[in-house]
Amino acid sequence: MIEIKNIEKSFGDTKVLKGISAVFETGKTNLIIGQSGSGKTVMIKSLLGIHTPEVGTISFDGRIYSKMTPDEKRTLRTEIGMVFQGSALFDSMTVEENVGFPLKMFTSKRNREIRDRVNEVLQRVNLEGSNKKFPAEISGGMQKRVAIARAIVNNPKYLFCDEPNSGLDPETSIVIDELIHEITKEYDITTVINTHDMNSVLQIGENIIFLKNGKKEWEGDKEEILETRNKSIIEFVYSSDLFKKVRENLLAEEEEEDNK
């Protein structure tokens, strides 16, 4: 479980996060949603320690980040997996070198053990037979799978994904969402996902926080988000014409029923 209390983060004069508190539960896919520029990436990078919030605390299963010693922070890092928005695979390494990288850097495993573990996770993300390819030689969806494999290779307790399906077609997006969801359950990981994609929200939104103008505007799950009367949520959820029409129809039906 990750618990954040009242975190604030500014860049120069602009405050991006204005006092956010939230709890991300273990074994669940926790979603941070909001429009582009609402601070989702800054939020996740604050959790990762890439950005340091000026105010507030972040605790990982009770361990408060700002009070950890450098050694404890190093240990924490090995418990974290991260899938970046653009996958962030190392261009100069093959698929298997990318996935094996955290093991090679931080464990004393032998090359053979590393190779076995790499093959195991590549199999888990349904990506076999591309071991020797370079990231530039595979599709965006495959790159995402490699990024997920790299993030989970060292059995993380915490998994962060920044817009895991940006740049993917709707079908592949769903496959990736489901994959992250299954892995979260299977290994009982605390997973935090940034997204602005309503498909993902409805697919895997077990615990959702909605950011607007640097504040937490709403919180709930995928059932609740469709029923809420919160105006900003409605605007966000029904921003596409398709959803607008669906909502109009639903409301019309409701009215008919009320009139009966």
Partner 1 sequence: MIKALNQIGRYFLMIGEVFYKPVKWKVMKTLIFKEIDDLIIGSMGIVAFISFFIGGVVAIQTALNLTNPLIPKSLIAFATRQSVILEFAPTFISIIMAGRAGSYITSSIGTMRVTEQIDALEVMGVNAVNYLIFPKIIAFSLYPFVIAIAMFLGILGGMVAGVYGGFIGQAEFLQGIQTDFIPYHIFYAFFKTFIFGFILATIPSFHGFYMKGGALEVGKASTTSFVWTSVVIILLNYIITQLLLS
Ligand X SMILES: Nc1ncnc2c1ncn2[C@@H]1O[C@H](COP(=O)(O)OP(=O)(O)O)[C@@H](O)[C@H]1O
Binding-site ranges for ligand X (CB under 6 A)? 11, 16, 34, 36-42
Instruction: Yes or no: say if 24 and 207 are a contact pair by the CB < 8 Å rule.
Output: yes
**Is residue 155 near partner 1 by the rule CB under 8 A?**
no
Of the two residues 94 and 194, which places its CB atom closer to ligand X in the complex? 194
CA pair distance 200, 52, nearest whole angstrom:
28
Q: What are phi and psi of 2, to 5 degrees?
A: -110, 130
Of the two residues 39 and 100, which places its CB atom closer to ligand X in the complex? 39
| Measured distance between the N- and C-terminal CA atoms of the chain, rounded to whole angstroms | 48
Instruction: Yes or no: say if 164 and 180 are a contact pair by the CB < 8 Å rule.
Output: yes
Of the two residues 16 and 183, which places its CB atom closer to ligand X in the complex? 16
**Is residue 91 near partner 1 by the rule CB under 8 A?**
yes
What residues between 96 and 125 interact with partner 1 by CB under 8 A?
Answer: 101-102, 104-106
Q: Choosing among partner 1, Mg ion, ligand X, none, which partner's interface includes residue 88 (Cβ < 5 to 8 Å by kind)? A: partner 1
Could you give the angle at the alpha carbon of 77 between the alpha carbons of 53 and 180, nearest 5°?
A: 95
**Is residue 165 near Mg ion by the rule CB under 5 A?**
no
Q: Determine if residue 193 is left, alpha or beta; phi over 0 gives left, psi from -120 to 50 gives alpha, anything else beta.
A: beta
- CA 258 vs. chain centroid, Å, equals 40
Q: Choosing among Mg ion, partner 1, ligand X, none, which partner's interface includes residue 42 (Cβ < 5 to 8 Å by kind)? A: ligand X
CA pair distance 130, 138, nearest whole angstrom:
8
**Is residue 41 near Mg ion by the rule CB under 5 A?**
yes
Which of 244, 236, 238, 240 has the alpha carbon at shortest distance from 38? Answer: 236
**Is residue 85 near partner 1 by the rule CB under 8 A?**
yes
Of the two residues 132 and 185, which places its CB atom closer to partner 1 in the complex? 132
**Is residue 244 near partner 1 by the rule CB under 8 A?**
no
- Which stretches of the chain bind partner 1, using CB under 8 A? 45, 48-50, 74, 77-78, 80, 82, 84-86, 88-91, 101-102, 104-106
- Which stretches of the chain bind Mg ion, using CB under 5 A? 41
